[in-house]
Every structure is written in structure tokens, then in C-alpha cells.
Structure 1
């Protein structure tokens, strides 16, 4: 019994070494953990490893920005190669068309050469300082807004001679003026219905998202420019036939609604549409670099949903687009109000 007890004590001593033997191992383990923690702090800036997620987002942003820059450089190189090829091949193609004797082919070549010259001149003009001042700054928009306000104000407050002429009895109404008034209003209302409820929805559910964006980039400026011009035409003709001194509450409501529609469309065209087009361009470039944007009728960000730069641009795009949509609906409400007024005054039916 004594021998087994001694042996058991010896086994216990071997299995559980004294503190003086185990301490160096424990302390070395703790030192290694501290070194690993300090290395993590140095690499990520966070002692608990949360900075690795931030580094991942930064790497994703840098990756897609690099892809975007490479794509832009490739497109610029292709455009330069194309322009150089057009310039070098003009002589051979011209000689070929002259020797062939085909009049139609020669006319087509002459038109192509003229279009190429105009395109090159337009490109040089777009690089000039005058173009940048007129189309890349807000000063021309301010000038146009001030001119529009002065134009509407002068129409609402006529001079003394115009007031006397308008008060003359038996003044005939011009059929041409009435035709222009009705035509401008009808075209305005029709373009709103078509663009809002037919064209936009149909193209969104029929085209890839990037193709739909390219179409909207072309249609948006023309749509609001046309509507602003038509609204101004309708307002000026209506005020000319209804001077300010003859207004009642009904006419005042119509003037306010048409004036509101005109200024809303003008402000959207001058201040919101250029911002929206720039956001569409940047957003589309990032999505093409990431390989997304070919879906139809929906939006998928793919790997870009982890990129803070893309998310910031996407949120700005949504806010600007929503503001433009709300302004467009307000102008439609003003147009429907004036349509109700015209229907109540219609004497044909």
C-alpha cells in the first residue's frame, strides 16, 4: 500500500507540475496573445478586429474605382483610334468613290465627311472655356430664370396703352392666337401623359436598366425644355386675352396654376436635370465596371452593395429623381386643373 501510494503521488506530481515549471509556459502564451493583439491594432486600427470590415469596404471601393478608371481610359483610347482611322482613310475612300462613278455613294460619302467635320468641331468647342461657362456652370441658368421672371411679370402688368387697347369694345379674337393657345396646351398635356405613364413604364420593363438610363438621359432634358416652352406659350396667350384688371377668382387660379407649372418645369430643367444626368453617368460607369446593370425591370447592385462610394451616389440619384418626379406630378395637376377650366368654357359640344 505504501509503494502504490508513493507511486500515485509521483504520477500526480508528473501530471500537475509545480507553478514554477508551468508559469513560463503560461506567461509565454499570454505574451503571444498580446503580440497578436498589438499586431491586430497596428494593422486594422481596432483591438477587436472590427477595422477589417472597414478595410474590406475600402479595398472594394478602390477596386471598382480602378476598374472605372481603366474603362474610361480604354474608351478614350478607342475614340482616339477611331478618329485617327477616320482621318487616315478619307483620302482612299474619296478616291474610290470618285473612280466608281456612283452618284449616290459619292453623296453619302460627302455627307459622312461633313458630319465628321461637324463632330470634330463640336468636340473642340466642348473643350473650350465658353462651352464650360455656358453648360457646366450655374450662371446661365440664373440668367434664364431672371429673364423668365421678367417676361412673365411684364405680361401680367401691361403698360397703359395695352390696357386701353384691351378695354376697347368689340375687339375681335384672332383665330391664329386661339389655335396656338389650344395647340400648346394639348401638346403639353399629351407629352406629360405619354412620358409619365406610357414611355417611362414601358421602357423600364422592356429594356436593360443601363439601356433605359441612356434613353432617359436623352429624353429628360428635351421633355422639360419642351414642356417649359409650351407652358410659357399657354400662359402668355391666356394673360393677353385676360388682363390683370379683369381678373376674378377663377381666372386668378388659372394664372397661378399655369405660372406654377411653367416655373416648376423651368427650375427642374435648369437645376435638377443636369445633376441627375451627371449622377446617372457616374453610377452607370461604376456598375459597368462591376459587371451589373443588365437586369430588366429591377435593380441589383451585386458586389457594389458593399461599396460606400457607390451607395452614396445611388442615394443622391434616388433623392434627385424623386424630387423631379414629384415636381412633374405637380405640373400635371396644374395642367389638369386648366383642362377642367377649358372644358367648362367649351361651347362646341
Structure 2
């Protein structure tokens, strides 16, 4: 099944869920034709937030670790260079939808302090994901490619798990300098990613308090 067919199938299921929701079925004929805007906004917020939270959770704590431990290091890096732009774009788009839908339902002037804090958490997640997308990721990818070139010249990079990089870098000042710079940028990118997750995690606690199970 191609991506377009999957998208259409997902949209069809989503539309069916909205049309046959209890709120719609209990409403009059006018509501069955046009569901209230607030329902769509809550749905958009819930879906976009859950997509962002789940994506960050999987990539950061599960998928990335599994790939790192089971792929040759250069293969892992090349895969990350293709995946990270899509990853941060997806998270940023979902965070933007969450911010817009939440902000529309809770205007700043009339919202409570708790709602303002939540909008701030969502905005921080959006800002950190955009920072990773437009600042850290391009720099990290370029530095990784340069370091891979030097490592190939020294016949390293195909190992899985423990890297031979540090051992070779002791006798290679150029590689050692690359490692320091790469480590700094990669560390900032990782910190930014954790801050994105943190903002979403705080908002998840807020939503949990609102759910009546």
C-alpha cells in the first residue's frame, strides 16, 4: 500500500470516527452535518500532541538506541542523517498544530495561569524542535560526513557497538578536534531534543488531569 493510499485510509477512518462519535449522534441534524468547531480543535490538538509525544518518545528512548546497538556506526550515522530532518519536521508540525489549536481555545487574556503555562510548554517544545531542525541538524550532518571521511581513511567506522574512534584519535589530532566539536554540537542537539520531550511530558500531565475515565 502506497503512502497516498495509507493517508486516504487514515483520513477515512478519522472522518468515520467524527461522524459516529457519541456527541454527533446525540446532536440534532444540523450538528450531524457540521460538527462544532471546538470538537475539531480538540481532536486536532489531541492527535497532533499524541503524535509528537509518541514520536519523540520512540526515537529518543527506543528506536535510536536499538539502531545504535545493532548497526555499523557509519551506517547508523547515514541513516540518522536521513531520518532526523523528517523526525524534527514531523515533531515541529505537530507541535505547531497543538499550539494553534490550544491557543485558539484558550485566548491569552481570558485563560488561567495553568493554561498559560501549558501554552508556554507547547511553545517551548515547538521552539526546541525548530532549533534542532534548522540549526543543529544541518551542522551535525555536515560534521558527521567530514568525520566519516577521516575515519574511512583510518579504516574504522564499520564496527558495531564500541567504537575504535577514540583509540585512533589519540594519534590523530585532526580526528580528535573533530570529535570535540562534534560532541559539543551533538550534545546541544540532544539537550534540545530532551527539552522538546520535557515540554510535551508536562502537557501530558495537564491533559491526564482533564480526562474523566
Is residue 219 from structure 1 mapped to residue 77 from structure 2 by the alignment?
A: no
The residue matched to 2:170 in structure 1 has which SS? helix
Are 2:180 and 1:315 aligned? yes
Q: Distance in 1 between matches of 2:108 and 2:62?
A: 38
Residue of structure 2 equivalent to 1:239: 103
**RMSD of aligned alpha carbons:** 1.2
How far did residue 200 of structure 1 move? 0.7
- Aligned position for 2:131: 267
- Structure 1 residue 346 corresponds to structure 2 residue 211: yes
Aligned counterpart in structure 1 of residue 157 of structure 2, from 282, 293, 297:
293
Shift of residue 220 of structure 1?
Answer: 1.1
Give deviations 1:53-86, integer Å, cap 9, x for gaps. xxxxxxxxxxxxxxxxxxxxxxxxxxxxxxxxxx
Instruction: Point out where structure 1 has 5 or more consecutive residues left out of the alignment.
Output: 1-171
1:191 pairs, out of 38, 51, 55, with 55
What's the counterpart of residue 72 of structure 1? none
Contact 1:290/1:304 (8 A) holds in 2: no
Q: Distance in 2 between matches of 1:318 and 1:204?
A: 16
Partners of 2:208 and 2:46 in 1: CA distance: 12
Larger Rg: 1
Match of 1:327 in 2: 192
TM value normalised by structure 2: 0.80
Per-residue Cα deviation, 1:10-49 (whole angstroms, up to 9, x for no partner):
xxxxxxxxxxxxxxxxxxxxxxxxxxxxxxxxxxxxxxxx
In structure 2, the partner of 1:207 is 71
- Please say if residues 38 and 105 of structure 2, whose CA atoms lie closer than 8 Å, have aligned partners that are also in contact: no
Q: Measure, in 2, the Cα distance between the counterparts of 1:174 and 1:263.
A: 26
- Structure having greater relative contact order (Cα 8 Å, sep ≥ 6): 2
- The residue aligned with 1:96 is none
- 1:173: how far off? 4.3
TM-score normalised according to structure 1 size: 0.49
Distance in 2 (alpha carbons) for counterparts of 1:173 and 1:281: 48
For 1:256 and 1:220, the matched residues in 2 are separated by: 25
Secondary structure at the counterpart of residue 164 of structure 2: coil
SS at the partner of 2:49?
A: helix
Once residues 186 and 220 of structure 1 are traced to their aligned partners in structure 2, the CA distance between those partners, rounded to angstroms, is 19
Q: Which runs of 5+ in 2 are unaligned?
A: 1-35
CA distance in structure 1 between the partners assigned to 2:40 and 2:120 by the alignment: 25
**Distance between the aligned counterparts of 2:136 and 2:149, measured in 1?**
20
Alpha-carbon distance in structure 2 between the residues aligned to 1:190 and 1:262: 15
Question: What is the CA–CA distance in structure 2 between the aligned matches of 1:299 and 1:281, rounded to whole Å?
Answer: 16
Residues of 1 paired with 2:45 and 2:135: CA distance? 28
Q: C-alpha separation between the residues in 2 aligned to 1:174 and 1:248?
A: 18
Pairwise CA distance, 1:257: 0.7
